Structure 1
Amino acid sequence: MNLDDVDVKILKILQADGRTALSEIARRLDMGTATIHERVNSLEEDGYIRDYRAVLDADLLGLDHVAFIRVNTEAGHFSEVAERLAEETAIQEIHELTGDADLLLKVRVSDRSGLTDLLSRIGKYDAVRSTATDVALRNVKEEQRLDISNDG
């Protein structure tokens, strides 16, 4: 599916507030609600919209310790390690990398002991050779929104 200007506008509105009513989107775009409903359904079916969720405040919830962990694995095992790491709820992101490390993890925990426990578990995984951890001192910017346009 190729996105047109209307699709991009719909995505921008829903990304800013996923609770925006379809009738409100239709009003903003000067279109019929049924048309907007069909377009949103197509965007969902084609995978452009994967989920609707609330963005929670990690600090208020006590999950204010952020760390980035670089993981080195035995040759050829980084994907299987990544799949197993995906089961760890404290890990928010897992990226397979080029360069010095095989994987980069972003984790959120409530305190240093939570980080220590997580690192201990990761270190015991089969095929994990080593880890290196950077603890974030301050969050300057953390954004989930994508900068979308109709460029393709």
Structure 2
Amino acid sequence: MAPALDEIDQRIVRELTTDGRLSVRVLAERVNISRANAYSRLARLVETGVLTRFTARVDPAKVGLSTSAYVTLNVRQNSWRHLTEHLRRIPEVEHMALVGGEFDVMLLVRATDNEHLRHVVLDRLQDIPGVLGTHTTLIFEDIDNH
């Protein structure tokens, strides 16, 4: 069950989603609470799993990953746990999700170029035990919502 978030908690989450590097002092100023209150709220949001980590967003193309694709997988039933172990070891897989519908798993894959992407899909993903088939959709442009 998700913890109840009041308006201040929601504002803290929005501010940190926009800039995860905010100091507690600046965060407290932006949401109009004391620093002590901001520290205790942040600790509670982390403790309850609302905030799971603080990360940097990177422009994939600027770090040499100019080819991106969504790769969907059809897999053998009951292979999800085993499959995730394999997928976590593939650095090009940026995100994975178990989904319902036509496919079983959806991946966001980042590669240096089409040849690299081809290697990831045909040699790495399709070789995982339990993967029955893949479908690759190239991303022409990433649009960041935040």
Give the structure-1-normalised TM-score: 0.84
Among 59, 62, 66, the alignment partner of 1:60 is 62
Letter in 2 for 1:124: D
In 1, the alpha carbon distance for the partners of 2:80 and 2:112 equals: 27
In 2, the alpha carbon distance for the partners of 1:89 and 1:16 equals: 26
List 4+ stretches of structure 1 deviating above 3 A.
none
Give the structure-2-normalised TM-score: 0.87
In 2, the alpha carbon distance for the partners of 1:38 and 1:57 equals: 33
Aligned residue number for residue 41 of structure 2: 39
Number of equivalences: 143
Letter in 2 for 1:56: V
SS at match of 1:59: helix
Among 19, 22, 25, the alignment partner of 1:20 is 22
Structure 1 or 2: larger helix share? Answer: 2
Shift of 1:69: 1.2
Shift of 1:88: 1.0
Among 104, 107, 110, the alignment partner of 1:105 is 107
Aligned residue number for residue 135 of structure 2: 132
Letter in 1 for 2:68: V
Structure 2: gaps of 5 or more residues: none
In 2, the alpha carbon distance for the partners of 1:134 and 1:30 equals: 45
Identity, in percent, stands at 24
In 1, the alpha carbon distance for the partners of 2:115 and 2:31 equals: 50
Letter in 2 for 1:137: F
Aligned residue number for residue 150 of structure 1: none
C-alpha root-mean-square deviation of aligned residues, in Å? 1.7
Shift of 1:86: 2.2
**Residues 91-119 of structure 1: CA deviation (Å, up to 9, x unaligned):** 11112122222111110001112111111
Structure 1: gaps of 5 or more residues: 146-152
